[in-house]
Amino acid sequence: MTIEHLQPDHLYQRCDPAQYDFKTTEQLEDLTEVIGQPRAVEAVRFGIGVLHKGYNLFALGPTGTGKHALVQRYASEQAMADKLPPDWCYVNNFQQPHAPRMLCMPPGRGVELERDMEQFVADLYDTIPAAFDSDEYRTRSQAIEDELGEQREQALKQVQSHAEEKKISLIRTPTGFTLAPVRDGEVLDPGEFKKLPDDERERIEQDTENLQDELLKVLQQIPGWQKETRDRIGKLNREIASSVVSHLIDSLRASYQELPAVIKYLDEVEKDVIENFRHFLRQEEEKHGLQVFGIDVGQRDDEMQVDKRYQVNAFITHENHDRAPVIYEDYPSYNNLIGRVEHRSELGALITDFTMIRPGALHRANGGYLIVDALKVLMQPFAWEGLKRVLQAGKIHIESLAQLMSLVSTVSLEPEPIPLSVKVILIGEPHIYYLLSMYDPEFNELFKVAVDFDYRMDRTPESQQLYARLIGSLVRVEKLRHLDRSAVARVVEYSARLLEDGEKLLTHTRSLTDILREADYWATQQAHETVTADDVQQAIDARIYRVDRVRERMQEEISRGTLLIDTTGQKTGQVNGLSVLDLGNFMFGRPSRITARARMGDGEVVDIEREVELGGPIHSKGVFILSALLGARYLPDRPLALSASLVFEQSYGEVEGDSASSAEFYALLSALADTPVQQSLAVTGSVNQQGEIQPIGGVNEKIEGFFDICNMRGLTGDQGVIIPATNIKHLMLREDVREAVAAGKFAIHAIDSVDDGIELLTGLPAGQRDQQGLFPQGCLNRRVEDTLTRYSVAMQAYASPAGKGSTGDSKLST
Amino acid sequence: MTPATEPSTIRRIAVTLDASESGRPPLETAARLAAILGAELEGVFVEDINLIRLSGLPFLREVRPWSIADEQISSQRMQRELRTLARRAEQMLERVARETGVPWSFQVWQGRPEATSLLKAFGADILSLGRVSTRVSSRMFATARRITPQSRKTDASISVLFSGSEQAARAVATACSLAREMGARLTVMLPASPAQAMPVLKEQALAILKRHAQLARFVELAGTDAQSLRQASDTATMSILIAEAEHPLLQQAGLDQCLDALFCPVLLVR
Distance of CA A141 to the CA centre of its chain: 67
Average pLDDT on A332-350 reads: 87
State whether A229 and B61 contact (CB < 8 Å).
no
The residues, any chain, with a CB within 8 Å of residue A98's CB and separated by 6 or more, are: A411, A412, A413, A414
Backbone angles phi, psi at B72, to 5 degrees: -65, 140
Residue A367 region by backbone torsions, left for phi larger than 0, else alpha for psi between -120 and 50, else beta:
left
Backbone angles phi, psi at B96, to 5 degrees: -70, -40
Which residues in chain A have their CB less than 8 angstroms from residue B54's CB?
A: 171, 178, 180, 187
A744 touches chain B (CB under 8 A): no
Residue type, A613: E
Per-residue confidence at B237, pLDDT binned at 50, 70, 90? Answer: low
The CATH class of A37-84+324-453 is alpha beta
B2 touches chain A (CB under 8 A): no
Nearest CA in chain A to B75: A190
Instruction: For A406-449, write each residue's pLDDT tens digit.
Output: 666 666 788 999 999 999 999 999 999 999 999 999 999 999 99
Distance, in Å, from the CA atom of A724 to the CA atom of A564, rounded to the nearest integer, reads: 25
Instruction: For A582-599, write each residue's pLDDT tens digit.
Output: 888 889 999 999 999 999
Per DSSP, the residues of B96-141 read: HHHHHT--EEEEEEEE---HHHHHHHHT-SEEEE-S---B--GGGG
Q: Which residue has the higher pLDDT, A809 or A577?
A: A577
* Facing residue for A174 by CB, picked from B65, B70, B82: B82
Q: Which residue has the higher pLDDT, B163 or A331?
A: A331
Specify the pLDDT at position B259.
66
Integer-rounded Cα radius of gyration of chain B? 19
Report how many Cβ contacts below 8 Å link chain A to chain B: 132
Backbone angles phi, psi at A246, to 5 degrees: -60, -40
Specify the pLDDT at position B8.
53
- Do domains B10-61+73-132 and B157-265 share one topology? The answer is yes
Per-residue confidence at B19, pLDDT binned at 50, 70, 90? Answer: low
Assess contact for A133 and B152: CB atoms under 8 A: yes
Specify the pLDDT at position A268.
95
Minimal CA–CA distance to A194: which of B56, B77, B79? B56
pLDDT at B252 over 90: no
pLDDT at B7 over 70: no
A547's enclosing H/E stretch is helix A533-547
Strands (E), A52-131: 57-60, 87-91, 101-105
> CA-based angle A351:A356:A361, to the nearest 5?
135
pLDDT at A173 over 50: yes
Per-residue confidence at B111, pLDDT binned at 50, 70, 90? Answer: confident
Handedness of CA A635, A640, A641, A646 (dihedral sign): positive
State whether B143 and A230 contact (CB < 8 Å).
yes
Q: Which residues of A680-712 are buried (b: 16+ CB within 10 A; e: fewer)?
A: bbbbbbbbbeebbbbbbbbbbbbbbbbbbbbbe
Beta bridge partners of A177: A172, B63
State whether A171 and B151 contact (CB < 8 Å).
no
Assess contact for A92 and A304: CB atoms under 8 A: yes
Name the burial class of residue B231, with classes exposed (0-12), middle (13-18) and buried (19+) by CB atoms within 10 angstroms of its CB: middle
Name the burial class of residue A299, with classes exposed (0-12), middle (13-18) and buried (19+) by CB atoms within 10 angstroms of its CB: middle
Assess contact for A181 and B176: CB atoms under 8 A: no
Average pLDDT on B153-178 reads: 82
pLDDT at B21 over 80: no
A189 touches chain B (CB under 8 A): yes
Average pLDDT on B126-132 reads: 70
Assess contact for A590 and A581: CB atoms under 8 A: yes
Specify the pLDDT at position A291.
47
Which residue pairs from A533-542 have beta carbons closer than 8 angstroms and sit at least 24 positions apart in sequence?
A533/A17, A533/A484, A533/A486, A533/A487, A533/A489, A533/A490, A535/A487, A536/A483, A536/A487, A536/A490, A536/A491, A536/A494, A537/A490, A539/A515, A540/A494, A540/A515, A542/A518
Mean pLDDT check: name the lowest of A53-57, A235-239, B211-215. Answer: B211-215
A752-756, B144-148, B176-180: which has the highest mean pLDDT? A752-756
pLDDT at A336 over 60: yes
Per-residue confidence at A304, pLDDT binned at 50, 70, 90? Answer: low
> CA-based angle B105:B110:B115, to the nearest 5?
75
Distance, in Å, from the CA atom of A748 to the CA atom of A699, rounded to the nearest integer, reads: 11
A646's enclosing H/E stretch is strand A642-648
Per DSSP, the residues of B28-90 read: HHHHHHHHHHTPEEEEEEEEEHHHHHHTT-TT-EEEETTTTEEEE--HHHHHHHHHHHHHHHH
Q: At what angle do helices A485-499 and A461-478 cross, to 10 degrees?
A: 110
Which residue pairs from B181-185 have beta carbons closer than 8 angstroms and sit at least 24 positions apart in sequence?
B181/B32, B181/B36, B182/B32, B182/B156, B182/B158, B183/B155, B183/B156, B184/B155, B184/B156, B184/B157, B184/B158, B184/B239, B184/B240, B185/B155, B185/B156, B185/B157, B185/B158, B185/B217
pLDDT at B132 over 70: no
Distance, in Å, from the CA atom of B97 to the CA atom of B105, rounded to the nearest integer, reads: 10
pLDDT at B151 over 80: no
**Catalytic residue selected from A659, A686, A792, A810:** A659
A282-286, A645-649, B64-68: which has the highest mean pLDDT? A645-649
* Facing residue for A216 by CB, picked from B49, B70, B139: B70
Nearest CA in chain A to B150: A283
Secondary structure string (H, E, C) spanning B78-102: HHHHHHHHHHHHHHHHHHHHHHHCC
Specify the pLDDT at position B142.
40
Distance, in Å, from the CA atom of A83 to the CA atom of A80, rounded to the nearest integer, reads: 8
B81 touches chain A (CB under 8 A): yes
Its pTM stands at 0.69
Minimal CA–CA distance to A121: which of A132, A111, A113? A113
Q: Does domain A564-769 have CATH number 3.30.230.10?
A: yes
Strands (E), A473-516: 504-506
Among A124, A160, A171, which would you mutate to test the B interface (most chain B Cβ atoms within 10 Å of its Cβ)? Answer: A171
Average pLDDT on A64-74 reads: 89
Among B68, B80, B138, B147, which would you mutate to test the A interface (most chain A Cβ atoms within 10 Å of its Cβ)? Answer: B147
Q: At what angle do helices A109-132 and A198-255 cross, to 10 degrees?
A: 150
Assess contact for A251 and A155: CB atoms under 8 A: no
List the 126-145 stretch of A: residues with Cβ below 8 A of B: 129, 132-133, 137, 141-142, 144-145
Q: Where are the domains of chain A?
A: 12-35+456-547, 37-84+324-453, 564-769
A702 is catalytic: yes
* Strand B240-244 versus strand B157-161 pairing type: parallel
pLDDT at A814 over 60: no
Nearest CA in chain B to A127: B149
The shortest C-alpha distance from B261 to chain A (Å) reads 13
pLDDT at B229 over 90: no
Nearest CA in chain A to B46: A174
Which residues in chain A have their CB less than 8 angstroms from residue B141's CB?
A: 152, 222, 226
Q: Is A152 helix (H, G, I), strand (E, B) or coil?
A: helix
Average pLDDT on B93-107 reads: 92
Average pLDDT on B133-158 reads: 50
| CA dist list (Å): A539 to A95, A512, A528 | 70, 12, 14
Average pLDDT on A43-64 reads: 93
ipTM attached to this prediction = 0.77
Could you give the dihedral angle defined by the CA atoms of residues A687, A689, A691 and A697, in that order, rounded to the nearest 10 degrees?
-20
Distance of CA A155 to the CA centre of its chain: 83
Instruction: For B28-73, write each residue's pLDDT tens digit.
Output: 888 988 888 888 998 988 888 888 888 888 888 888 877 777 888 8
Specify the pLDDT at position A765.
93
Per-residue confidence at B6, pLDDT binned at 50, 70, 90? Answer: low
Per-residue confidence at A20, pLDDT binned at 50, 70, 90? Answer: very high
Average pLDDT on A716-728 reads: 95
Instruction: Give CATH superfamily name and number for B157-265.
Output: HUPs (3.40.50.620)
> CA-based angle B139:B142:B145, to the nearest 5?
155
Q: Is A194 helix (H, G, I), strand (E, B) or coil?
A: helix
Q: Does domain B10-61+73-132 have CATH number 3.40.50.12370?
A: yes
Looking at the domain A12-35+456-547, which fold is it? Helicase, Ruva Protein; domain 3 (1.10.8)
* Facing residue for A176 by CB, picked from B64, B133, B152: B64
Specify the pLDDT at position A651.
86
Q: Where are the domains of chain B?
A: 10-61+73-132, 157-265
Task: Report the percentage of chain B scoring pLDDT > 70.
Answer: 76
Beta bridge partners of A58: A426, A450
Per-residue confidence at B137, pLDDT binned at 50, 70, 90? Answer: low
Average pLDDT on A188-195 reads: 88
